[in-house]
Every structure is written in C-alpha cells, then in structure tokens.
C-alpha cells in the first residue's frame, strides 16, 4: 500500500466548473500538506501548503486537511482551460525535508 | 524569485555512457537540494538529498555508485548517471530549499531533464 493515494484521473470538467481533488494517506506523522501543479514535461509548481488540519484559501484555490480522516482536498473554483495540468499532493513530517508525493491527478478543463 | 534551472533540458545518449545533469538555484542559496525521478504518468520519487559540502543521502534502493551527486557550491548540484542503460531513461527533476529558512521550507523545483538512453 502506498503512503499517499491519489486518483490518477483524468478528471474532465467544463470551463467554469469546480474541480475537486483529494488524497488519502496512511502516515499519521505527516504535518505539512502541499498541492503542486505540473504541466506536461515541466517541474512541479507549489500552489498551496497547509500545516496540520484546517482550511486555507488563496484566490480560486482552497485546500482542506482533515488529519483525523487522513484526507486532504484541493478545490479549484471557476476553472479555466489553463488549469489543465496534473495536480500532485505531497506531504512531509514535522522534521526533515523529505516530501512524499501522491501519484498525481490529471485534470482537463474543456472550453 | 526562487528560480531553479536545470541543464540540459533533454539528453539522448548511447547505452554505457555517462550523463551529467546540472541543477542551479539562480537567485537564492540552497544548502540542500533534492533529486527526483519521475516515470511517465507516475509521481516523483526522491532519489537523494544533496547537501553542500558533504556527501549526499540516498534513498533506499538507489545505487549511489550509479547516480553520483556533487553539491559543490550553494547554488549548484550535479547528478551524474554513470554507465547509463535504457532502464535509466526517465524524467529527472531537482529541487532546492532556501538556506536558513525556518518552519516550513518550501522546495522550488527545476523544469526537469528528460534522459533517453538508446
């Protein structure tokens, strides 16, 4: 069983819809939770990070962490075709630098 | 700010040759850099952590003699794939962490290097 599980998709939505992404994890030591966006053949770009449980909003993006359920989510409002990419969740413990990534979800936003 | 570059962006080589990939932090100092490997439609797998002025720390299952890492300065880390074979073909991505940053230390990722071994 992988430490971090993420549905690979693809997730296809019409422009303007809400994109809902999530990851589940098994390691209760994870404290930092990140979402990255990766365009084809490019490096990942950090979108959001959250420490411990709670919600965080930044523009069209909202990240949620539920540590009791070991479940994190990312919501993208008013999705645009430029949001089409692979979205990776990543997690890290309180100490150290190692990021553990989910497998990524491919998102397609159709005009 | 916080830009990480990689060179080359793409390399094709013959089996048995060695390939060097450079990772540079352009506008910040990075005591620690990381090397990841990503297969098609799969996630990033950490290969090793590169520390300036000291030996790299390799993840379990990664051959240190095959993947040589040198972190010679606060802005440059190199990954050399020695005696490359077709199974080494992959997308190699580096990241860098800002030196001295407390709390959550964001890793900034490079654009990646696609290695194809014939």
pLDDT digits (tens, 9 = 90+) for A12-37: 999 999 999 999 999 999 999 999 99
Task: Say if B35 is an interface residue toward chain A (CB within 8 Å).
Answer: no
Residue-averaged pLDDT of chain A: 93
pLDDT above 70 for A74: yes
pLDDT digit string (tens) for B40-99?
878 899 999 988 888 899 999 999 999 999 988 889 999 999 999 999 999 999 999 876
pLDDT (0 to 100) of residue B97? 86
Query: How much is the pLDDT for B100?
Result: 60
Return all residues near B113 (Cβ < 8 A) that are at least 6 apart. B6, B7, B8, B9, B10, B11, B21, B91, B92, B93
User: Tell me, what's the pLDDT at A68?
Assistant: 93
For B57, nearest residue in chain A (alpha carbons): A98
Check pLDDT > 70 for residue A51.
yes
Q: Which two tokens stand for residue B95?
A: 């990241």
Could you tell me how many CB contacts below 8 A there are between chain A and chain B?
51
For residue B104, give the nearest of A6, A8, A32 by CB distance: A32
Q: How many CA atoms lie within 13 A of A9 on its CB side?
A: 24
* Burial category of A40 from C-beta neighbours within 10 Å (exposed 0-12, middle 13-18, buried 19 and up): exposed
B41 or B112: whose pLDDT is higher? Answer: B112
The mean per-residue pLDDT over the stretch A61-90 comes to 96
At residue A111, does pLDDT exceed 80? Answer: yes
**pLDDT given at position A103:** 92
Are the C-beta atoms of B81 and B62 separated by less than 8 Å?
no
pLDDT for B42 equals: 81
Q: How confident is the model at residue B1 (pLDDT cuts 50, 70, 90)?
A: low
User: Given A43, A44, A103, which is nearest B42 (Cβ)?
Assistant: A103
Residues on chain B touching A88 (C-beta within 8 angstroms): 43-44
pLDDT at A104: 94
Averaged pLDDT for residues B18-31: 92
| Identity of the residue in B41, B95, B112 whose CB atom sits nearest the CB atom of A42 | B112
pLDDT surpasses 80 at B101: no
Residue A15 sits at the chain B interface (C-beta within 8 Å): no
| Chain B contact for A40 (CB, 8 A cutoff) | no
A59 token code pair: 């523009």
Lowest mean pLDDT among A12-16, A43-47, A105-109, B16-20: A43-47
């Amino acid at each position: 069983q992988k430490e971090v599980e993420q549905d690979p998709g693809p997730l296809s939505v019409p422009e303007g819809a809400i994109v809902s992404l999530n990851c589940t994890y098994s390691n209760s030591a994870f404290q930092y939770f990140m979402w990255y966006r990766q365009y084809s053949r490019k490096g990942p770009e950090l979108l959001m990070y959250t420490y411990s449980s709670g919600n965080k909003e930044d523009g069209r993006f909202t990240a949620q962490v539920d540590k009791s359920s070991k479940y994190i989510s990312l919501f993208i409002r008013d999705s645009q075709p430029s949001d089409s990419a692979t979205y990776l969740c990543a997690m890290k413990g309180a100490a150290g630098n190692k990021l553990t990534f989910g497998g990524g979800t491919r998102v397609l936003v159709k005009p | 700010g916080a830009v990480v570059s990689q060179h080359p962006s793409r390399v094709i080589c013959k089996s048995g040759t060695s390939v060097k990939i450079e990772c540079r932090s352009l506008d910040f100092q990075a005591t620690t850099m990381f090397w990841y490997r990503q297969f098609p439609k799969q996630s990033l797998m950490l290969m090793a952590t590169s520390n300036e002025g000291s030996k790299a720390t390799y993840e379990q299952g990664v051959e240190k003699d095959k993947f040589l890492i040198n972190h010679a300065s606060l802005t440059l880390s190199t990954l050399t794939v020695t005696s490359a074979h077709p199974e080494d073909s992959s997308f190699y991505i580096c990241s860098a962490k800002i030196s001295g940053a407390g709390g959550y230390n964001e890793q900034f990722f490079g654009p990646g290097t696609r290695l194809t071994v014939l």
